[in-house]
């Protein structure tokens, strides 16, 4: 037993003093914008390419990061281009930090992500499209994380889009928009999910003339704020693009796309200034089916414009919602008036006079400090256990030292 205590002590002490080991890359300064591409091309594994010129804004042709694992440190500067693409990331892993990337082309893309992993801790602006996932033979296995504080902003097209020809079942873009991030578009959709992809959004701000438009893929919203501020427009299904209608979440059933839309909403706020919150409609010729497989809501506030319903959906989707009854929570409003969505909510639940989905058999119970005291936080238990182990280990170490001194 004594040997075991001594061994535990040695192991714990050893773990406490193991140094952190990082892949150490070099910093590659760029003091002239004309050297940016060559510096990126020569960068090694883990290197940081850092803009060090004195100018606050620098203009470039298209910059390509191909086959690299690097950090691009904008160093507080704005990297601007009027080319079709400002920054192309291909077959790479890239951290983009500390600054802004911009595109001023009327049909341009600021950040094009092709089969790559990108961690974004910078701002991305565009007159047209800010972030694009292009089609690569029906695929594009990429990962994008938009970190807290990053702002993705477009004026005339979309903040972020996935190409509609991406139809593969597995090699698809996976996009994670963290708490505190922002994606917005002044005159169109903040996000347009045309191709098969998985988009997970935390407590981020998504704002546009329309909020999120989707024709395919998975969408998970965890406490997200989605705000549609544009004018009311009638949906006009088409084979390329999506018409902004002023809805918060717009779903188009279109057989030219992958479909299989799956939406999970766990809290948040979803509002439309001029239209409904949820708009779903078919392209001509697909009236008997819906591309939406599931819409599951556990909570949130859903507020349509005054005089508008929360849902405006096709007959097939209406039947799916009535059959699945997958709304388990949330408050549903038309303007400031409760909106009746009772036919869509889970069996056994109902709406109260404020439009909130409740369980009528369970009374609301206020937090009880006494109850909390009976169930201490798991982290507290873990702390007590750790302190106990360290205490026992210290006793064992003292005993071992004492015995050795004797």
CA atoms 224, 299, 333, 278: torsion sign: positive
pLDDT of residue 362: 79
pLDDT band at 125 (very low <50, low <70, confident <90, very high): very high
Q: Tell the burial category of 122 from Cβ atoms under 10 Å away from its Cβ (0-12, 13-18, 19+).
A: buried
Domain positions in the chain: 1-27+368-406, 28-360
pLDDT of residue 21: 33
Segment 49-99, tens digit of pLDDT = 999 999 999 999 999 999 999 999 999 999 999 999 999 999 999 999 999
Segment 95-111, tens digit of pLDDT = 999 999 999 999 999 99
pLDDT band at 270 (very low <50, low <70, confident <90, very high): very high
Whether 147 has a pLDDT exceeding 80, the answer reads: yes
Q: In whole angstroms, give the CA distance from residue 366 to residue 108.
A: 53
Q: In whole angstroms, give the CA distance from residue 190 to residue 207.
A: 6
244-253 mean pLDDT: 97
Whether 187 has a pLDDT exceeding 50, the answer reads: yes
pLDDT of residue 287: 66
Percent share of the chain, pLDDT over 70: 82
Higher pLDDT: 293 or 24? It is: 293
Segment 368-383, tens digit of pLDDT = 444 443 444 444 444 4
Whether 142 has a pLDDT exceeding 70, the answer reads: yes
C-alpha dist (Å) from residue 41 to 35, 61, 82: 10, 15, 22
pLDDT band at 305 (very low <50, low <70, confident <90, very high): very high
pLDDT band at 285 (very low <50, low <70, confident <90, very high): low
pLDDT band at 359 (very low <50, low <70, confident <90, very high): very high
């Amino acid at each position: 037993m004594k040997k075991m205590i001594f061994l535990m002590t040695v192991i714990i002490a050893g773990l406490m003093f193991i140094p952190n080991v990082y892949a150490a890359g070099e910093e590659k300064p760029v003091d002239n914008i004309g050297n940016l591409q060559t510096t990126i091309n020569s960068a090694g594994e883990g290197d940081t390419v850092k803009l060090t010129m004195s100018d606050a804004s620098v203009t470039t042709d298209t910059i390509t990061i191909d086959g690299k694992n690097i950090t691009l440190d904008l160093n507080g500067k704005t990297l601007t281009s009027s080319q079709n693409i400002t920054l192309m990331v291909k077959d790479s892993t890239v951290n983009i930090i500390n600054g802004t990337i911009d595109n001023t082309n009327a049909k341009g893309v600021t950040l094009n992500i092709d089969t790559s992993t990108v961690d974004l801790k910078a701002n991305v602006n565009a007159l047209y499209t800010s972030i694009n996932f292009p089609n690569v033979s029906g695929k594009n296995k990429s990962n994008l994380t938009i970190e807290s504080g990053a702002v993705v902003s477009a004026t005339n097209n979309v903040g972020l889009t996935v190409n509609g020809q991406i139809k593969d079942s597995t090699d698809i873009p996976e996009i994670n928009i963290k708490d505190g991030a922002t994606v917005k578009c002044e005159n169109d959709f903040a996000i347009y999910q045309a191709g098969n992809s998985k988009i997970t959004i935390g407590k981020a701000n998504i704002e546009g003339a329309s909020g999120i438009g989707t024709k395919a893929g998975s969408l998970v919203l965890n406490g997200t704020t989605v705000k549609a501020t544009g004018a009311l427009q009638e949906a006009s299904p088409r084979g390329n693009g999506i018409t902004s209608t002023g809805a918060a979440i717009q779903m188009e059933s279109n057989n030219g796309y992958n479909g299989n839309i799956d939406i999970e909403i766990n809290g948040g706020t979803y509002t439309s200034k001029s239209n409904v919150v949820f708009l779903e409609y078919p392209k001509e010729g697909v009236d008997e089916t819906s591309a939406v497989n599931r819409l599951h809501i556990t909570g949130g506030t859903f507020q349509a414009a005054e005089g508008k319903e929360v849902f405006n959906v096709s007959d097939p989707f209406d039947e799916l919602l009535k059959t699945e009854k997958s709304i388990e929570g949330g408050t549903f409003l038309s303007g400031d008036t409760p909106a009746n969505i009772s036919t869509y909510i889970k069996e056994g639940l109902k709406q109260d006079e404020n439009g909130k989905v409740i369980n009528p058999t369970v009374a609301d119970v206020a937090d009880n400090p006494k109850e909390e005291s009976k169930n201490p936080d798991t982290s507290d238990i873990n702390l007590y256990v750790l302190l106990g182990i360290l205490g026992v280990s210290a006793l064992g170490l003292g005993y071992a030292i004492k015995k050795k001194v004797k």
